[in-house]
Amino acid sequence: MADPTAVVMLSMGEPNDLDDVRRYFSALLMDRELMQLPMQKRLSPLMARMSAPGARRQHAEVGGPRLKGWLERQGEAMVRALDDLSPATAPHRHYLALRYSDPSTDATLRRMKADGVRRAVAMPQFPQFSCTTSGSSLNELWRGVERTGLHSAFTWSVLDRWYRHPAYVASMAETVRAGLADFDAGDRDRVLLLFSAHSMPMKVINKGDPYPHEIHASVDAIMDELDVPNAYRVSFQSKVGPVPWLGPSTIAAVEKLAGQGVTKVLVVCVAFTSDHIETLYEIDVDLFRRAEAAGIREIRRAPAPNVRPAFVTALAEIVAGHLKSGEAASAQYPVQCLGCDNALCRTVVHSVAGGYDTTEPTATLR
C-alpha cells in the first residue's frame, strides 16, 4: 500500500474545555507573531485573568468549544473526496495542528511519522492569508519540525491562500443564498449583506499584510458569483487587546446601518470556515442583541461552511489542484510583507520544489 499523503490543517484552535479558557487566552496574548503589546510578558497574563471568566461564560452559553470537532469532521469528509479526485496521491489522511490547544504541532508531526507519511501539504484553515494567522501557523509548524528533529522526514508544500478559488467562492455564495432564503421572498433583495471578518492589529496591516485586500477580493468574487442586487458592506470583529485594530467594527457597522434606516441584515462570516465562539456568541448572541437595540428589525447569519457538501467539495478540489500542480506554494508566498521583520516568514522546510528552506529554521520574531 502506498504511503499516505498528509493534509495538515493548521488553526489557532480553541480552549480544550471550559477549564482551559484562561490558559488558552494567556498563550494567545503572549504570541508576538499575533500581536505586539507594550510590556507583553507582564500585561498578557493580567489580560487573560481578567477576560477568562467572561469568555468561559460565553463558551458555556453556546455549549462549549466547537472548533476542533468541526475541523475533524471537515478533514474526514475532505480526504474521502480527495481519494476520488486524486487517486495518484491516495490514500490521504488529515491531521490537525492547533496553535494553542490539542493536538499540538509536535504531537501531530510525531503521529505523522508513526503513520508512515512522507508527503505533506500544510493547509492553514484561513482562506485569506495574514501573517498573524496563516503565516504564524506555518512558522510554528517549521519550528515544530526542528524541535522534533523531523526536518527531512516529510516533503512539504504549502496551500497558503485560497480566497478566490472558484470552488471556495461558490461554496460561500451557497451559504449566502441559504441565509437569504430565511427572509420573506418579497424582502430578500432589500436585505443588506454585511460581510464580517476577523480583525487584525493595525501594526500588522501597516507592514503590508495582504489580509485586507484578500478579504475584499473574496467578497467581490462572492458577490459576482451571487449576481444579486443587494447592497453589501465589509466590517471586522473580534478585536483583542489595547492596540488599534482594523475597522470598522461589526458592532459599529450595525449601529451605523440602523441609523441610516437599514432594517434587514444578513451577516456573512467570510473569514471563518466553521462555527465557534466568534460566530455562535459574538454574532448570534452579542451582535444580534445590539442590533435589536439599535433598531434593526431582522438580522440573521448565513450558515457557516462547516461540512456543507459544497464546502467539503471545495476543500478537496483545492487540495487536489495543489497536489497536481507540484508547486511548493503560491507565487505570492515567498515575497515577504514590505515591513516584515520576522526572519522565519515565507519558509517551506524540505520543500517539494526546493528553494524555500530558511537558513535560520529556529528564528524568532525580532
Active site residues: 12, 28, 34, 99-100, 198, 275, 278, 282
Strand 119-124, strand 192-198: pairing: unpaired
Grid coordinates belonging to 63 = 455549549
- Classified as helix, coil or strand, 195 is strand
The answer to the question of whether 198 is labelled as a binding residue is: yes
Nearest residue to 134 via CA among 289, 346, 363: 346
Cβ–Cβ contacts within 10 Å for residue 53, how many? 11
- Cβ atoms of 106 and 142 closer than 8 Å: no
- Cβ atoms of 322 and 121 closer than 8 Å: yes
Cα separation, 122 vs 319, whole angstroms: 10
Cα separation, 44 vs 26, whole angstroms: 6
Residue with cell 433598531: 295
Q: Hey, which residues does 268 pair with through a beta bridge?
A: 195
The answer to the question of whether 278 is labelled as a binding residue is: yes
Nearest residue to 159 via CA among 115, 120, 207: 120
Q: Hey, which residues does 6 pair with through a beta bridge?
A: 93, 120
Phi, psi of 11 (to 5 degrees): -155, 160
Nearest residue to 258 via CA among 236, 278, 216, 288: 288
CA distances from 271 to 43, 57, 254, 274 (A): 28, 24, 18, 9
Report CA Rg, the chain. Answer: 20
Binding-site residues, in ranges, read 198, 278
Binding-site residues for Fe(2+), in ranges, read 198, 278
